[in-house]
């Protein structure tokens, strides 16, 4: 289906790709040329870039997180961050707490461990069900870690409430279980005062994962984790075993790009453009989707999560949508950890990588399909 979805006549809201036309390609080109020109080791194996780590410390400060360069570990994207942290924390056959519907890349990370994933629901207004996490602990759960995406949740597009943020941290502290906070969308926020990451509330029990993929360019494959300093050496061993080091040229070029200034202006531009695409999609949903569909306004991230009536089959809707309307999206069931029908009546729509007129057209077509929907 994903192959069909990538045909040029299909309007795709399926993948969370950043908008290619917003990549600062010329500036990245200048940074790469500058790095190659001035830095004889840019094409060599090399240690993590100290300059980039100190930029990451500054970026984290913009989000209200205080950390030091000694706590910043550079990775090949957020995906590698979660993979290394799982390797560090999880024994084969161990236990993890996650949400019922969660980023599929995380589920892939867990696969080789054949672990038990204890799941809790996600409230579309306030995020992870912290009472359910509490209940798991009360029943004796001893997970290696709790994984969550507090800001710009993928797929449910919710920001965790402030109250839940502090309660989740209290649970982590009292049970001495780390939280792995995956935050690739944290800088892509649309509200006046976005919530600070969990890591801003606890430097000991929150292991933070960040990424340049959504805010610069995913092909550079650079992300980072912020962890207590004592874990850095172990992560270093795991990283070396995995891919030796994060591409030296990419790290140093991103540092040069950030040295040049203008990153905050770039972020502001991204937020403005994504907010306008988000609003365009919401406007289309209001006009063209039937009354039985409901959704929230996402304050961060790149997705809108649409729920239809119980019994609606979004997998079937996708198959029909591709044939009848040439529009792609991801059905909620694609994100279900236990494949038990969770999310089956829901659609995840990505607004990031379609121009506004394509958003209008795609939502009109999808609305048409839902309007004549009579089930199987």
Partners of residue 223 on adjacent β-strands: 75, 211
Instruction: Report in angstroms how near the CB of residue 370 gets to ligand PLP at its nearest.
Output: 26
- Which stretches of the chain bind ligand PLP, using CB under 6 A? 16, 77-79, 103, 105, 149, 154, 182, 184, 211, 213, 218, 223
Cα(59)–Cα(57) distance, rounded to whole angstroms? Answer: 6
Instruction: Report in angstroms how near the CB of residue 109 gets to ligand PLP at its nearest.
Output: 10
Q: Which is nearer to ligand PLP, 216 or 318 (CB)?
A: 216
User: Residue number with the shortest CB distance to ligand PLP?
Assistant: 77
Q: Which is nearer to ligand PLP, 103 or 295 (CB)?
A: 103
Q: Which is nearer to ligand PLP, 151 or 345 (CB)?
A: 151
Cα(328)–Cα(349) distance, rounded to whole angstroms? Answer: 9
Q: What is the DSSP letter of 341?
A: S
Q: Which is nearer to ligand PLP, 15 or 316 (CB)?
A: 15
Q: Which is nearer to ligand PLP, 143 or 155 (CB)?
A: 155
**Residue closest to 333 by CA, chosen among 96, 15, 102, 11:** 102
Instruction: Report in angstroms how near the CB of residue 105 gets to ligand PLP at its nearest.
Output: 5
Instruction: Report in angstroms how near the CB of residue 75 gets to ligand PLP at its nearest.
Output: 8
The structure tokens listed for 203 are 């430097």
**Residue closest to 121 by CA, chosen among 106, 105, 102, 140:** 102
Instruction: Report in angstroms how near the CB of residue 79 gets to ligand PLP at its nearest.
Output: 3
The structure tokens listed for 229 are 């300093």
Instruction: Report in angstroms how near the CB of residue 102 gets to ligand PLP at its nearest.
Output: 8
CA 84, 88, 91, 95 torsion: positive or negative?
negative
From residue 249, alpha-carbon distances to 71, 288, 304 in Å are 22, 47, 35
Q: Which is nearer to ligand PLP, 154 or 248 (CB)?
A: 154
């Amino acid at each position: 289906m994903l192959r069909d979805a990538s045909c040029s006549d299909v309007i795709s809201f399926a993948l969370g790709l950043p908008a290619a036309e917003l990549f600062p390609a010329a500036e990245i080109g200048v940074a790469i040329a500058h790095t190659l020109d001035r830095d004889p080791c840019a094409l060599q194996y090399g240690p993590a870039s100290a300059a980039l780590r100190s930029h990451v410390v500054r970026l984290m400060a913009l989000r209200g997180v205080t950390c030091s360069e000694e706590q910043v570990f550079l990775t090949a994207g957020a995906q590698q961050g979660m993979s290394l942290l799982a390797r560090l924390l999880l024994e084969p056959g161990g236990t993890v707490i996650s949400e019922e519907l969660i980023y599929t890349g995380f589920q892939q990370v867990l696969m080789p461990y054949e672990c038990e994933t204890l799941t809790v629901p996600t409230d579309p207004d306030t995020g992870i069900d912290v009472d359910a996490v509490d209940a798991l602990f009360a029943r004796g759960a001893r997970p290696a870690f709790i994984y969550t995406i507090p800001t710009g949740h993928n797929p449910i597009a919710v920001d965790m409430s402030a109250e839940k943020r502090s309660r989740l941290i209290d649970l982590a502290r009292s049970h001495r279980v780390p939280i792995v906070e995956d935050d690739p969308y944290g800088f892509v926020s649309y509200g006046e005062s976005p919530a600070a990451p969990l890591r801003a509330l606890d430097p000991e029990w929150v292991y933070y994962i960040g990424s340049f993929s959504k805010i610069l360019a995913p092909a550079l494959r650079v992300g980072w984790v912020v962890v207590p300093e004592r874990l850095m050496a172990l992560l270093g061993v795991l990283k070396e075993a995995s891919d030796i080091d994060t591409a030296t040229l990419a790290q140093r070029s991103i540092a040069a790009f950030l040295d040049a200034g203008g990153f905050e202006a770039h972020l502001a531009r991204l937020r403005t453009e994504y907010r306008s695409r988000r609003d365009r999609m919401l406007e289309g949903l209001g006009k063209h989707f039937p009354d039985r569909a409901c959704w929230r306004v996402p304050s961060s991230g790149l997705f809108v999560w649409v729920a239809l009536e119980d019994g609606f089959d979004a997998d079937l809707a996708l198959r029909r949508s591709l044939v009848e309307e040439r529009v792609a999206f991801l059905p909620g069931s694609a994100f279900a950890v236990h494949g038990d029908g969770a999310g089956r009546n829901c659609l995840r729509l990505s607004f990031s990588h379609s121009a506004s007129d394509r958003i209008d057209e795609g939502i009109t077509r999808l609305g048409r399909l839902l309007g004549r929907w009579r089930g199987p």
